[in-house]
A and B are shown apart, each in its own frame.
Chain A
């Protein structure tokens, strides 16, 4: 469909970077809340990445990646402007429902700041009052603040160490917003599962509808393997085709977190083997 050429890259920190990839058809089809599956090279694995942005005029999509394991570190090393991805398929998943909510809080934690952006923008475009709550570990990791300022009526920056914005977790920002506004219709939260769990617990006493975007292990992303199954209430759902957005008050986060850990030893082995081979290759080259 395209040759998946990388047309822009920017590095936000030593572990976080964004790639803008040419794919005009996908740029046209993409909606907030959807994701893609990427293979960097022929021997690579298929990894899901939430769409952080898309530009219909330029015909590009934007992915924000955190180098945490073998595949993402390899991407950090190899994905330069002008290189190509081996595979890129999507947009996948059911688009977020941008409803008639008049006042929403869009919460992004860490890497989740990127995929919450298209939702915040869509809410703004639908006429809602948008409160952005962004959480980072420290000031050095903050990115896209200007993009959010442009589409949020209020922006609350939270850092773990207080080096930017308020000191504390995003749940602190949510509490502040709820106490300042009694009429919040909806909270949308994307980030690590522990953060989304915290957000769901923060809103539960107030009965505010809270949508979260789940990030289980995936293989195909088209509903044929069930690797991404999650427990929503008592029901099993496949995040790739039934989600990835679900009602945060129904999600079994403990189950999700346990399942996310199930390949941890193998992941560690893959990363170590790769780092070792990099070191050897680097050594041979000099």
Chain B
């Protein structure tokens, strides 16, 4: 038997991820982080102590059996690792890329107490990408029930909910307003962080589970939630429509040409392929000097897209300091490497236009941090006499979003004070059988939080429909094929273990 690993015997440094050099990558939309090669993955898998506590599993919003799949990697059983992950998460290639692991699984990793934590996200991505390349699927045995479930919105919350509720045996239809599914994963997150081809591949796995996607369908207007629960015969509905409705600041000059929201900028570029204009018809009109307001992940994406479509200078304008910036540290680091100019503690007061009604400059003032506000962050206050101008021919607002009003306008859903959908602790809305989760309930948050909400809602829907919570099945101690029949653990199916008497032969 192999000697038990200790913190001293494992590789001390985290295996680096091969990356495109900044000066190369700003000329293309290929992924910045190229992913682990086989030898990288094997080396990094050695760093997991397989500790008894497994804090990483609790740190993961969907509870992936992390040490289990890493052990399979170390054994070079990659398909086995894929089965372990997909018992709880059907979208490993997405989550491995976009989860903020530093505040989730990797943030609590035991190794991380002394060394750099195990690169769980990179290993998950390695397995997810291998599964896509090899065409692996992990389709559980699904016992059909008679329930029809509708999912409104095909973003991360809807996808996660759809997967779980389909596994429970329901007939699932996902409705999407855009011409293709994926939500923010498609229109928002650019290809250099999450290629749309990866999202499509993961959606294909959902199709293999029997989930139908109906695009070009604007729920609320084409039909209402009440019609879905009534004449259309759905037993339950999950609403995961995202936040949308971008905020502006209400400063003068916001309607000038060249001023737009990050959602519009990213949608034109990513979903509508504006960056390939005129091969695709959606115009983009990239600026030469771009100023982006805000410092969240969306702002980072908007700035890095601007660089890649030819901006000479990109400035980030944020009214607090780097320490308060909501973007992932890694994203800010990548943006800095690519030459983004960060203007911390800076707030725009006016956008100035030229005679063609196009923006030509942003008038700003410097800020300093005062007392903490209600959110616990120190409130920025203007410094008197600090006004200055930033020359720019494009301004992108990435300061967050508000609730999308369509479902509120067209249904009896109870909304909260800010216009988001009200739910109870189980994510049930005020309409019986209708559940909601993700940004349309919480306001803008992360992909994995939305997925977590989708899964919580699925659990509540199963309880509402009187279905067995099959979550327990695929969370149970995984996945030795001998322990499973039709993909379901024998214990769960109620098989008794029978010990046959030794036959005398």
Question: Are B244 and A270 in contact, with the CB atoms below 8 A?
Answer: no
Question: Are B277 and A229 in contact, with the CB atoms below 8 A?
Answer: no
Instruction: Give Cα distance in the complex from A224 to B188, angstroms.
Output: 11
Question: Are A25 and B405 in contact, with the CB atoms below 8 A?
Answer: no
Quick check: is A180 within 8 A (CB to CB) of the other chain?
no
Quick check: is A49 within 8 A (CB to CB) of the other chain?
no
Residues of A within 8 A of B248 (CB): 226, 229, 236
Quick check: is A179 within 8 A (CB to CB) of the other chain?
no
Question: Are B179 and A225 in contact, with the CB atoms below 8 A?
Answer: no
Docked complex: B268-302 residues within 8 A CB-CB of A: 268, 272-273, 277-285
Give which listed residue, A29, A269, A273, contacts B223 with CB less than 8 A. A29
Instruction: Give Cα distance in the complex from A62 to B246, angstroms.
Output: 32
Question: Are B217 and A1 in contact, with the CB atoms below 8 A?
Answer: yes
Quick check: is A7 within 8 A (CB to CB) of the other chain?
no
When C-beta atoms are compared, the residue in chain B nearest to A86 turns out to be: B179
Quick check: is B214 within 8 A (CB to CB) of the other chain?
yes
Quick check: is B77 within 8 A (CB to CB) of the other chain?
no
Question: Are A45 and B281 in contact, with the CB atoms below 8 A?
Answer: yes
Closest beta carbon of chain A to B188's beta carbon, Å: 10
Instruction: Give Cα distance in the complex from A219 to B264, angstroms.
Output: 7
Instruction: Give Cα distance in the complex from A278 to B12, angstroms.
Output: 63
When C-beta atoms are compared, the residue in chain A nearest to B273 turns out to be: A43
Give which listed residue, A89, A225, A236, contacts B267 with CB less than 8 A. A225
When C-beta atoms are compared, the residue in chain A nearest to B261 turns out to be: A226
Instruction: Give Cα distance in the complex from A155 to B239, angstroms.
Output: 46
Residues of A within 8 A of B277 (CB): 266, 270
Quick check: is A90 within 8 A (CB to CB) of the other chain?
yes
Quick check: is A87 within 8 A (CB to CB) of the other chain?
yes
Question: Are A259 and B222 in contact, with the CB atoms below 8 A?
Answer: no
When C-beta atoms are compared, the residue in chain A nearest to B357 turns out to be: A258
Quick check: is A191 within 8 A (CB to CB) of the other chain?
no
When C-beta atoms are compared, the residue in chain A nearest to B244 turns out to be: A224
Quick check: is B250 within 8 A (CB to CB) of the other chain?
yes
Question: Are A39 and B285 in contact, with the CB atoms below 8 A?
Answer: no
Q: Please tell me the number of chain A residues within 8 Å of chain B, measured between CB atoms.
A: 48
Residues of B within 8 A of A220 (CB): 177-178, 267
Question: Are B246 and A224 in contact, with the CB atoms below 8 A?
Answer: yes
Closest beta carbon of chain A to B302's beta carbon, Å: 12
Question: Are A231 and B255 in contact, with the CB atoms below 8 A?
Answer: yes
Instruction: Give Cα distance in the complex from A92 to B406, angstroms.
Output: 9
Give which listed residue, B216, B223, B281, B358, contacts A70 with CB less than 8 A. B281
Residues of A within 8 A of B258 (CB): 262
- The winner among A43, A242, A267 for most chain B CB atoms within 10 A is A43
Instruction: Give Cα distance in the complex from A36 to B346, angstroms.
Output: 41
Question: Are B217 and A89 in contact, with the CB atoms below 8 A?
Answer: yes
Question: Are A89 and B264 in contact, with the CB atoms below 8 A?
Answer: no
Docked complex: A227-274 residues within 8 A CB-CB of B: 227, 229, 231, 236, 238, 241-242, 255, 258-259, 261-263, 265-267, 269-270, 273-274
Quick check: is A168 within 8 A (CB to CB) of the other chain?
no
When C-beta atoms are compared, the residue in chain A nearest to B178 turns out to be: A220
Residues of B within 8 A of A255 (CB): 255
Question: Are B223 and A25 in contact, with the CB atoms below 8 A?
Answer: yes
Quick check: is A19 within 8 A (CB to CB) of the other chain?
no
Closest beta carbon of chain B to A208's beta carbon, Å: 27
Residues of A within 8 A of B284 (CB): 266
Closest beta carbon of chain B to A60's beta carbon, Å: 15
Quick check: is B254 within 8 A (CB to CB) of the other chain?
yes
Instruction: Give Cα distance in the complex from A226 to B263, angstroms.
Output: 8
- The winner among A71, A262, A270 for most chain B CB atoms within 10 A is A262
Residues of B within 8 A of A227 (CB): 260-261, 264
Quick check: is B484 within 8 A (CB to CB) of the other chain?
no
Residues of A within 8 A of B216 (CB): 1, 4, 87-89
Instruction: Give Cα distance in the complex from A71 to B282, angstroms.
Output: 10
Residues of A within 8 A of B406 (CB): 222-223, 241
Instruction: Give Cα distance in the complex from A274 to B221, angstroms.
Output: 34
Interface residues on B, range: 35 or more
Question: Are A270 and B281 in contact, with the CB atoms below 8 A?
Answer: yes
Closest beta carbon of chain A to B200's beta carbon, Å: 14
Residues of A within 8 A of B223 (CB): 25, 29
Quick check: is B104 within 8 A (CB to CB) of the other chain?
no
Quick check: is A124 within 8 A (CB to CB) of the other chain?
no
Closest beta carbon of chain B to A230's beta carbon, Å: 8
Quick check: is A99 within 8 A (CB to CB) of the other chain?
no
Question: Are A224 and B280 in contact, with the CB atoms below 8 A?
Answer: no
Residues of B within 8 A of A274 (CB): 278
Question: Are A39 and B179 in contact, with the CB atoms below 8 A?
Answer: yes
Residues of B within 8 A of A135 (CB): none
Residues of A within 8 A of B390 (CB): none
Question: Are A222 and B244 in contact, with the CB atoms below 8 A?
Answer: yes
Instruction: Give Cα distance in the complex from A29 to B406, angstroms.
Output: 15
Closest beta carbon of chain A to B325's beta carbon, Å: 23
Give which listed residue, B178, B254, B404, contacts A223 with CB less than 8 A. B404
Residues of B within 8 A of A263 (CB): 283, 285
Quick check: is B242 within 8 A (CB to CB) of the other chain?
yes
Quick check: is A32 within 8 A (CB to CB) of the other chain?
no
Quick check: is B409 within 8 A (CB to CB) of the other chain?
yes
When C-beta atoms are compared, the residue in chain B nearest to A43 turns out to be: B280
Quick check: is A207 within 8 A (CB to CB) of the other chain?
no
Docked complex: A69-87 residues within 8 A CB-CB of B: 70-71, 86-87
Question: Are B244 and A223 in contact, with the CB atoms below 8 A?
Answer: yes
Question: Are B404 and A241 in contact, with the CB atoms below 8 A?
Answer: yes
Question: Are A259 and B177 in contact, with the CB atoms below 8 A?
Answer: no
Residues of A within 8 A of B281 (CB): 43-45, 70-71, 270
Question: Are B217 and A226 in contact, with the CB atoms below 8 A?
Answer: no
Instruction: Give Cα distance in the complex from A94 to B358, angstroms.
Output: 30
Quick check: is B215 within 8 A (CB to CB) of the other chain?
yes
Residues of B within 8 A of A70 (CB): 281
Quick check: is A46 within 8 A (CB to CB) of the other chain?
yes
Instruction: Give Cα distance in the complex from A1 to B357, angstroms.
Output: 41
A sample of 15 cross-chain residue pairs with beta-carbon separation below 8 angstroms, ordered by A number, consists of A44-B280, A46-B272, A70-B281, A89-B179, A219-B268, A220-B177, A222-B177, A223-B405, A224-B242, A225-B264, A236-B250, A255-B255, A259-B357, A261-B257, A266-B277
Known interface pairs A39-B179, A223-B404; 13 further A-B residue pairs with C-beta atoms within 8 A, sorted by A's residue number: A45-B272, A45-B283, A89-B177, A91-B218, A94-B409, A227-B260, A231-B255, A241-B405, A242-B405, A255-B255, A258-B257, A259-B255, A265-B285
